[in-house]
């Protein structure tokens, strides 16, 4: 019985959000021309979740698996939607949070819909920049990392470089790069690649150094060639370490991307946030923040899936 009640809580709270939105008076009057005048978009949005939770509850009656999953996630979902309820209350309903700097969910949703074309272009630009820089950084990082793990001579030269760049936050170089680079896009790619290069190099080197000697010796008794030793032994053997670098690198790359876009590159979501702020379009600003959060979450989730797939052979999983 108690479990059943907990399972219905997300549904109850999402309905509460809709009721509050419709029934509680707003903190001020809106003219129909007001860009932020409340619309039904928020009701549609919340209604979608309410329906989904209702359907999930029905499924939970028939399926044990749906019930376990819902029961596990229900407390977290309830708190999330309670926070949404509180957020709407503190903005649209009471104006407690400083206005107009903190817009309410309906205004943010409408800003995203209104600016969808430019947001989509900005998203595309951000992703292109992120992945170009990331790919270059990863490839170079694996090359220098394997070289440094493999040969003492390479390690002698690479290690001071990683120590130097490891202690300086990569965005420190941004002003210099933006001055020196021929194009802003090229400069930002360079910055992101540099930011990714360091962790990938460090972890790859560590990985190759940690491969047991007997692994290479066994391979050599089978007559594995030199390139084979690198591509078929050293790299797969150190892949758990390399993936650690890929994950660290992605989070640094995301940071570097946004800073580059906010400071110089005149496109992308970072630039959009700054641009909206300049026009005091706070709803649009928050909209871009939401899109960034969702995008980075998705990118990291994809990386996580790739990691788990690639490291299936590892004891205890990836």
Partner 1 sequence: MTGTIEIKHLNKTFDDEFCAIEDLSLTIAAGEFVSIVGTSGCGKSTLLRTIAGLEAPTGGEILCGGKPVHGTSPDRGLMFQEHALFPWLTVRKNVIFALKASGRYGANGGSVGALLETAGLAEFADAYPHQLSGGMRQRAALIRSLAVSPDVLLLDEPLGALDSFTRMVLQDEIIRLWQARGNTMVLITHDVDEAIYLSNRIIVMAPRPGRIAEIIDVPMGYPRNRGTSDFADLRKRLLKRLDFAAEVEQEYYL
Give residues in contact with partner 1 (CB under 8 A): 212, 214-215, 217-225, 228, 232-233, 236-237, 239, 312-315
Q: How far apart are CA 259 and CA 274, in angstroms?
A: 11
Q: Among residues 207 and 249, whose Cβ is nearest to partner 1? A: 207
Quick check: 43 and 18 in contact, CB under 8 A?
A: yes
Q: What share of the chain is helix, strand, coil (3-state, %, to 5)?
A: 80, 0, 20
- Residues, the chain: 318
Residue 54 C-beta: closest distance to partner 1, Å: 43
Q: Among residues 239 and 276, whose Cβ is nearest to partner 1? A: 239
Quick check: 78 and 10 in contact, CB under 8 A?
A: yes
Residue 216 C-beta: closest distance to partner 1, Å: 9
Question: Residues 191, 182, 167, CA angle at the centre, nearest 5°?
Answer: 25
Residue 250 C-beta: closest distance to partner 1, Å: 22
> Taking each helix axis from N to C terminus, what angle separates 184-210 and 239-263, rounded to the nearest 10 degrees?
160
Residue 231 C-beta: closest distance to partner 1, Å: 12
Residue 147 C-beta: closest distance to partner 1, Å: 21
Residue 241 C-beta: closest distance to partner 1, Å: 12
Q: Among residues 182 and 212, whose Cβ is nearest to partner 1? A: 212
Quick check: 193 and 136 in contact, CB under 8 A?
A: yes
Q: Among residues 169 and 228, whose Cβ is nearest to partner 1? A: 228
Residue 201 C-beta: closest distance to partner 1, Å: 21
Q: How far apart are CA 93 and CA 38, in angstroms?
A: 11
Q: Among residues 52 and 218, whose Cβ is nearest to partner 1? A: 218
Q: To 10 degrees, the CA torsion angle through 67, 68, 73, 78? A: 40
Q: Among residues 126 and 239, whose Cβ is nearest to partner 1? A: 239
CA distances from 120 to 263, 268, 291 (A): 20, 9, 10
Q: Among residues 67 and 307, whose Cβ is nearest to partner 1? A: 307
CA distances from 80 to 57, 86, 93, 261 (A): 18, 10, 19, 30
């Amino acid at each position: 019985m108690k479990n059943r009640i907990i399972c219905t809580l997300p549904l109850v709270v999402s309905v509460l959000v809709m009721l509050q939105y419709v029934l509680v008076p707003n903190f001020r009057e809106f003219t129909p021309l007001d860009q932020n005048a409340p619309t039904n978009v928020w009701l549609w949005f919340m209604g979608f979740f309410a329906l989904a939770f209702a359907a999930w509850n029905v499924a939970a009656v028939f399926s044990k698996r749906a019930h376990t999953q819902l029961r596990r996630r229900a407390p977290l979902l309830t708190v999330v939607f309670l926070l949404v309820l509180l957020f709407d209350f503190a903005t649209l309903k009471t104006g407690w949070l400083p206005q107009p700097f903190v817009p309410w969910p309906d205004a943010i949703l409408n800003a995203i819909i209104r600016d969808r074309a430019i947001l989509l272009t900005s998203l595309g630009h951000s992703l292109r920049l992120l992945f170009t820089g990331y790919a270059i950084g990863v490839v170079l990082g694996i090359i220098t990392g394997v070289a440094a793990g493999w040969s003492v001579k390479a390690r002698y030269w690479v290690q001071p470089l990683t120590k130097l760049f490891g202690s300086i936050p990569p965005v420190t170089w941004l002003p210099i790069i933006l001055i020196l680079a021929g194009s802003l896009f090229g400069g930002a790619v360079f910055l992101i690649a540099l930011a990714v290069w360091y962790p990938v190099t460090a972890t790859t080197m560590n990985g190759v150094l940690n491969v047991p000697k007997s692994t290479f010796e066994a391979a050599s008794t089978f007559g594995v060639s030199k390139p084979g030793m690198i591509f078929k032994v050293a790299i797969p053997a150190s892949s758990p370490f390399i993936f650690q670098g890929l994950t660290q690198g992605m989070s640094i790359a995301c940071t570097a991307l946004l800073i580059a876009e906010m400071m110089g590159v005149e496109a992308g979501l970072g630039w959009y946030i700054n641009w909206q702020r300049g026009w005091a379009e706070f709803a649009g600003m928050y909209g871009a923040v939401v899109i960034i959060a969702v995008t980075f979450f998705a990118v990291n989730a994809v990386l996580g899936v790739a990691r788990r797939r690639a490291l299936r052979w590892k004891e205890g999983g990836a």
